[in-house]
Amino acid sequence: MSEILDRARTRVLESGAGLDEEQILEVLRLPDEDLPALLQLAHDVRMKWCGPEVEVEGIISLKTGGCPEDCHFCSQSGLFASPVRAVWLDIPSLVEAAKQTAATGATEFCIVAAVRGPDKRLMDQMRAGVKAIKEAVDIQVAASLGMLTKEQVDELVEMGVHRYNHNLETCRSYFPNVVTTHSFEERWETLKMVRDSGMEVCCGGILGLGETIEQRAEFAAQLAELDPHEVPLNFLNPRPGTPLGDRPVVEGKDALRAIAAFRLAMPKTILRYAGGREITLGDLGTRDGLLGGINAVIVGNYLTTLGRPATADLDLLQDLKMPVKSLSATF
Amino acid sequence: MQCPTQTFCDRCGLPVTEGDHAACAAARALEPPRFCPRCRRRMKVQVVPTGWTATCVEHGTTHG
Ligand code: SF4
Ligand SMILES: [Zn+2]
Ligand SMILES: [Zn+2]
Task: Encode pLDDT of A223-272 as tens digits.
Answer: 999 999 999 999 999 999 999 999 999 999 999 999 999 999 999 999 99
Domain boundaries, chain A: 18-318
**Ligand 1 shell residues, CB under 6 Å:** A 67, 69, 71, 74, 76-77, 114, 146
Task: Encode pLDDT of A177-232 as tens digits.
Answer: 999 999 999 999 999 999 999 999 999 999 999 999 999 999 999 999 999 999 99
User: CB A89 to CB B46 under 8 A?
Assistant: yes
CB B59 within 8 A of CB B36: yes
Torsion over CA: A109, A113, A116, A121 (sign)? negative
**Structural domain that includes position B15:** 1-64
CB A247 within 8 A of CB A28: no
Q: Which atom of ligand 1 is nearest to the CA of A182?
A: 1
pLDDT at A314: 94
**pLDDT < 70: residue spans in chain A:** 1, 329-331
The CATH topology of domain A18-318 is TIM Barrel (3.20.20)
Please tell me the distance between residue A144's alpha carbon and the centre of ligand 1 in angstroms: 11
| Range B30-39 average pLDDT | 96
Please tell me the distance between residue B39's alpha carbon and the centre of ligand 3 in angstroms: 4
Q: How near does any CA of chain A get to the CA of B26, in Å?
A: 11
Q: Which helix (H) or strand (E) holds A151?
A: helix A150-159
Residue closest to B42 by CA, chosen among B56, B32, B31, B52: B56
User: Which A positions 118-177 lie with beta carbon below 8 A of chain B?
Assistant: none
- The C-alpha atoms of residue A97 and residue A116 are separated, in whole angstroms, by 24
Average pLDDT, chain A: 96
Domain count for chain B, please give it: 1
